Amino acid sequence: MKFVHIADMHFDTSFSQINDNELGSIRRLEQRKILKKIVDYIKEKHVDYLFIAGDFYEQKFIKESTIDYINGLFREIMDTKIFITPGNHDPLIKNSFYYKYAWSPNVHIFNSKLSYVDDGNVRIYGYGFDDFYYTNSELNSFELTDKDKINILITHGTLNGTDNVERQYNAISRNELERAGFDYVALGHIHKKNYTMTEKIVYPGSPMSMGFDEPGEHGMVVGEFDGKSLSTEFVRLDEAEFKIIDLDVSNCSSLEDLSNELNMLNLNESNFYEICLVGRRRFELDLYILKKSIFVRNIIKLKDKTKLDYDLEEMSKEHTMKGLFAQEILNRLSNENYDKEIVEKALEIGLEILEK
């Protein structure tokens, strides 16, 4: 028996983390391509089951045309049984497409009550969200009733969730799952994979990265049971990665120098980058102007973590206009009534003017 396990596709998400409307549109098209990759893999490998462990789409943003596209792909793999557990972003609420849409006959959508479907020697359990929060896990006293079958659980939730926030998203105890004795647990909710070849309680991570808070490879877990013996592997789907790089500006003497440094970076064209500016600088830094001067399209974000390279104490001893200015800046920095960030910005601008 072969299966594919995915979760957290978030179809039609706004990609607000990226803060780039054009890139967001591109990534939404990439979502469709990645599902097509999954379906093509299922066809090629003759996969029996597709497990989708929640947050398949965004209830707030999902378009019917996207559901039509998804369902059309599902119809291409009629010999594959598809099981979906709703998550906190696609809960089984009244106006959900899980309720009101005519899904392909090979699709089974679990509700909020733990239930199972028997398919020969395989028993597939599942339950999901019926609202944007879910705290009614039934696993505390759960017992498998037929341990000779291959018993699989699909759900969306927080493994070992302990704080008040985590408990709102179907907090599940690993000890409970291990006690229950499922042969495989297909989880969703965490976008970073926790996959290892020997692990049976698995987050596959999201098939594609949503932004810079989700670095690394993204894809799906595929598995095969030979009797009760399980083998799995991780298959990468997203060709792009979101990477954060530090760039030391200490050797740059102007904004123009820094712009040139950024444009000369040797970056992988398939990836997206956030450049974190570090080091000490002696020039005014305007991120808006700097971003406009960069022609490397896959630099998506710039962050300023630099420090001003000025010795104000020494400068304040000078009998010059610069010295008087440094004295005034020191006075304001020591006065809690002034906003430190604004004073430091005034220092940048003032010293750049005085040094011209």
Q: Which helix (H) or strand (E) holds 185?
A: strand 184-188
Average pLDDT value for residue range 106-111:
98
Give the other-Cβ count within 10 Å of 5's Cβ.
25
CA 268 to chain centre: 20
Mean pLDDT, range 321-338, rounded to an integer: 84
Q: What percent of the chain has pLDDT over 90?
A: 66
Start and end residues for every CATH 3.60.21.10 domain found in the chain? 2-236
Reported as a single tens digit per residue, the pLDDT across 215-270 is: 889 999 999 999 999 999 999 999 889 999 999 999 999 999 999 999 999 999 98
| Predicted pLDDT of residue 355 | 67
Rounded to an integer, the average pLDDT of 342-351 is 78
Determine the distance from the C-alpha atom of residue 228 to the mean position of all C-alpha atoms in its chain, rounded to a whole number. Answer: 33
Band of pLDDT at residue 336, cut at 50, 70 and 90: confident
The whole-number pLDDT of residue 140 equals 77
Closest CA to 110 of 167, 52, 69: 52
Q: If 0-12 CB within 10 Å is exposed, 13-18 middle and 19+ buried, where does residue 170 land?
A: buried
Q: Say if residue 343's pLDDT is above 70.
A: yes
How are strands ordered across the β-sheet holding 81-84?
A: 107-109, 81-84, 49-52, 2-6, 219-226, 229-236
Give 258's contacts (C-beta < 8 A, 6+ positions apart): 249, 252, 277, 285, 290
**What does the alpha-carbon distance between residue 315 and residue 68 come to, in Å, rounded to a whole number?**
68
Q: For position 34, what pLDDT does the model report? A: 97
Residue 348 in this model has a pLDDT that exceeds 80: no
Judged against a pLDDT cut of 80, whether residue 345 lies above it is answered with no
Closest CA to 128 of 93, 173, 80, 177: 93
Lowest mean pLDDT among 65-69, 143-147, 331-335: 331-335
pLDDT digits (tens, 9 = 90+) for 35-77: 999 999 999 999 999 999 999 999 999 999 999 999 999 999 9
What average pLDDT does the segment 75-91 reach?
98
Q: What is the mean pLDDT of residues 293-321?
A: 85
pLDDT recorded at residue 136: 77
CA distance 35 to 253: 48
Residue-wise pLDDT tens digits, 157-207: 998 877 777 778 888 989 989 999 999 999 999 999 988 888 999 999 999
Q: What is the pLDDT of residue 32?
A: 96
pLDDT at 215: 86
Q: Is the pLDDT of residue 20 over 70?
A: no
**pLDDT > 90? residue 325:** no
242's tokens: 């979101």
User: Which CATH number applies to 2-236?
Assistant: 3.60.21.10
Given this model, what pLDDT does residue 326 score?
Answer: 82
Please tell me the predicted confidence (pLDDT) of residue 231. Answer: 96
76 three-class SS: coil
Pairing between strand 272-278 and 242-248? parallel
Per-residue pLDDT, 17: 67
d(CA 27, CA 31): 6
Predicted confidence at residue 19, as pLDDT, reads 63
Angle, in degrees to the nearest 10, between helices 321-333 and 340-354: 170
pLDDT at 356 over 70: no
pLDDT for the residue 200: 95
